[in-house]
Structure 1
């Protein structure tokens, strides 16, 4: 696929448009790594300077993203998430017609710290289930989630958690918690990714993450669980309806 030297549009501009068209046509898909500079030179018959200029401009426009040591990738389209929503991850994926999956990283009984005890309105050192999961959307790591539940309120809760079972379905069907009437208290900040978080979320150390701390309450305003989840800011746009 050779470019045209005889027209007024510079070669880097022509290459930039060809790559844009390839993204729109699905030749280069969201999240996919582009061929390296040498391969792009071969495909389009241009110099590395031309390739670098085109890639740089597409990166500045937000169509591509460079990951150190990994290459250049097509940027994923941001997904809109209602700020006040209490929907679980599974329901969120269903709304978007995405395929959710989960990997349980930690599932353990711990003693409630003063902070957790206050949030769940239980005694310090009371038994708590700590659940840490990596959430995938269409096989792509989307959210790192850490949740705490009172085991006095939800005994044997860990026995019902499987890799791809909705926790909200478990709470509704086994513990008779009405999630449709639940409410939340959220605090959202932006934080840099740690090495641990970057490893799981497929990003660079220091990349910005939405840090969402929340407490979910039942219809009687009694805490159901606390949750902290982190998502790359480039993947999601938080919305609010007033």
Structure 2
């Protein structure tokens, strides 16, 4: 199967007209997920706007908006006269003075991970509520209902604030909003939804004033922005988390093996 047909098949199988999420965002997110899952590789060429539009039954303007979003975030690049090519974001080099290394390769909650690093974890719930889902939450969690549980927590290691996490959970996977006290993963497992795997993306960012105040650092301080979708044992999405980690407190470790 050609690369163009493979990409078109992925998009066709994942696009959902019944979702309230705009189609250009769905196309964008479908391609990002396919890159994360290894279905589309760095250097693969994207089909033409016309080919995508005809296969999906959407306008070329819709396809163009999707590609522009991907290009802006570094997921693809346009080469004059040749086309558009996947350009998967490369892992950055971690600072040598970081205090809390974390692994890219194993799925753990924050508390478990900190204990394994020899630090004492704790958390403070900033807010929790049931609210209307955003387009990103609808797509990431495959939501059908009109609400989502949101938990915003400040994370500590040895009593030092090191991260802010905003976790979104489909209401149907937890008994109630109050089911989460400390560990979301523990609450999910207790409810019969054991976290099995996750797709995660890490990028660099600068903290805004509110985030910096919570993390006891300066506005504009560098941070690691992490987006993660967690799936249960039945491969259903059960958590979408966006977190901000102080860059001077973390580095992330991955083992690379030659094929």
TM-score exceeds 0.5: yes
**Structure 2 unmatched ranges of 5 or more:** 1-94
Deviation at residue 198 of structure 1 after TM alignment: 0.5
Does the CA-based 8 Å contact 2:224-2:245 persist in structure 1?
yes
1:193 is the counterpart of 2:207: yes
Any idea what SS the aligned residue of 2:138 has?
helix
Larger radius of gyration: 1
Does the CA-based 8 Å contact 1:127-1:152 persist in structure 2?
no
Any idea what SS the aligned residue of 2:248 has?
helix
Any idea what SS the aligned residue of 1:142 has?
strand
Does the CA-based 8 Å contact 2:222-2:246 persist in structure 1?
yes
1:176 is the counterpart of 2:196: no
Aligned-pair RMSD on alpha carbons? Answer: 1.9
Work out which of the residue numbers 169, 175, 180 in structure 2 matches 1:155.
175
- What residue is the counterpart of 1:17 in the other structure? none
**Structure 1 unmatched ranges of 5 or more:** 1-61, 64-75
- What residue is the counterpart of 2:86 in the other structure? none
1:234 is the counterpart of 2:253: no
1:204 is the counterpart of 2:215: no
Aligned residues between the structures = 162
Deviation at residue 77 of structure 1 after TM alignment: 4.8
Partners of 1:78 and 1:154 in 2: CA distance? 34
Deviation at residue 218 of structure 1 after TM alignment: 1.3
Deviations 1:109-144 (A, max 9, x none): 001122211110112x62210100001111100110
Partners of 2:230 and 2:107 in 1: CA distance? 8
Q: Normalising by structure 1, what TM-score?
A: 0.63
Deviations 1:166-190 (A, max 9, x none): 22111112x11223xx111111110
Deviation at residue 207 of structure 1 after TM alignment: 1.0
Q: Normalising by structure 2, what TM-score?
A: 0.59
The list of structure 1 runs, each at least 4 consecutive aligned residues, that deviate by more than 6 angstroms after superposition, is: none
Any idea what SS the aligned residue of 2:242 has?
strand
Partners of 2:129 and 2:221 in 1: CA distance? 29
Work out which of the residue numbers 72, 85, 102 in structure 2 matches 1:81.
102
- What residue is the counterpart of 1:217 in the other structure? 231
